[in-house]
Structure 1
Amino acid sequence: MRERIVEAASKEIRRSGLRFTMGELAKQLGMSTKTLYGYFPSKDVLIATILHKAIVELQEKEKDIMGNPDLTTLDKLKRCLILIPTDFQFIELNLITELQRYYPDQWKTLDQFLNKQWDSITELFQEGINQGWLRPFNTKIFIDLYVGGLYRLIEDSTENKSSITLHEGLRDMGEILLSGIIKKEG
């Protein structure tokens, strides 16, 4: 039942963001609000559960990419930089702003994850340098640019300057950071 509730809440988040009520969710699930609160004592706990599930999914996807012998180091790097949980592939960035504004504890969890989970990427950077695919560079600055760029995309979505999805934003940002903006000759 917990999984069914999490799935229904995830679907509601994709549909209308984080502003759904527990009463609306209970009604969709055909249960009383009291029963729903028996599984999740608050909406905060439900959102935290969904976020935890998304982070675990990202870690599993990254592990699968890292262990795939058919991918080159650069392919692994590109795929890892645009990883997004399945349920959130096409969300707009303003959802993250809602999380930041209305669920600060859950935002803190996401923020820590975004800033701390770079070991595999750093490993790929070093492999790419050793293989001659990448030039030596300051990996900390790259990570700071990536995270800072993500935060800027989030800010722009709040101010309605951008209507791109999270996937589009990460894809474009990763491409610019990895390939640069100089047109290749020949």
Structure 2
Amino acid sequence: MKDRILKVSISEAERKGFRFTMGELAKQLGMSTKTLYGYYPSKEELLNEMINLAIDELKKKEEEILHDSALNLLEKLQKCLVLVPADFKFAQLQYLDELQRYYPKQWETLDQFIHEQWSGIVSLIDEGIAANQIRPFNKEIFIEVYVGGLYRLMEHASKNRNMISLQDTMQEMVDILMLGILKENVHKEN
């Protein structure tokens, strides 16, 4: 039953963000609110489980990417950067801002993950530098630009209520970070 509750909760988060009520969720599940509270005594506990499930899924997918022999180093790097945190089921960028505003403890868990889950990516970058596929650069600044960009985009999406997907936003941001803004031939001419 807990798996079913989680699945419907994730679906509600995709549809409405994190501001769904336990009453709405119970109705979607076809059960009483009292029964739902028997499984999850608070919405915060349910959100904790949703966030932890998403984080575990991200870690697993990153490991799969890192060990995928069909991908080259740069493909792995690009996929990992878009994966963190793009693979969350909560598809709209402003929903992450909603989580930050209304559920600070749950946001803290996600925020900590976003700031700390860099070892695989840093290893790929180091490997790329050693193989002369990536120019040396300050990885700490890169991480701060990535995280800061994500958070700024969240704020923008929340204020403008545009429905750009997290996946599309992360892909565009990573393309800019990895490829820059200059056309390849312009870069070589200078």
TM over 0.5: yes
Deviations along 1:49-89, one digit per CA (max 9) or x if unpaired, are 1010000000000000001111111000000011133623x
Tell me the C-alpha RMSD between the 2 structures. Answer: 1.3
Q: Distance in 1 between matches of 2:98 and 2:88?
A: 19
Question: In the TM superposition, what is the alpha-carbon distance from 1:28 to its structure 2 partner?
Answer: 1.4
Length, aligned pairs only = 184
SS of the residue 2:3 aligns to: helix
Aligned to 1:159: 159
AA in 2 matched with 1:113? F
Aligned to 1:87: 89
Deviations along 1:19-53, one digit per CA (max 9) or x if unpaired, are 21111111211111111111101001101110100
Q: Distance in 2 between matches of 1:146 and 1:87?
A: 20
Question: In the TM superposition, what is the alpha-carbon distance from 1:131 to its structure 2 partner?
Answer: 1.1
AA in 1 matched with 2:69? P
Aligned to 1:55: 55
TM-score, structure 2 as length reference: 0.93
Per mean C-alpha deviation after superposition, the further-off stretch among 112-121 and 152-161 is 152-161
SS of the residue 1:41 aligns to: coil
Q: Distance in 2 between matches of 1:163 and 1:24?
A: 22
Would you say the 8 A contact 1:18–1:98 is kept in 2?
yes
Would you say the 8 A contact 1:55–1:85 is kept in 2?
no
Runs of 4+ with >3 A deviation: none
Aligned to 1:125: 125
Q: Distance in 2 between matches of 1:96 and 1:116?
A: 18
SS of the residue 1:87 aligns to: coil
Q: Distance in 2 between matches of 1:183 and 1:86?
A: 32
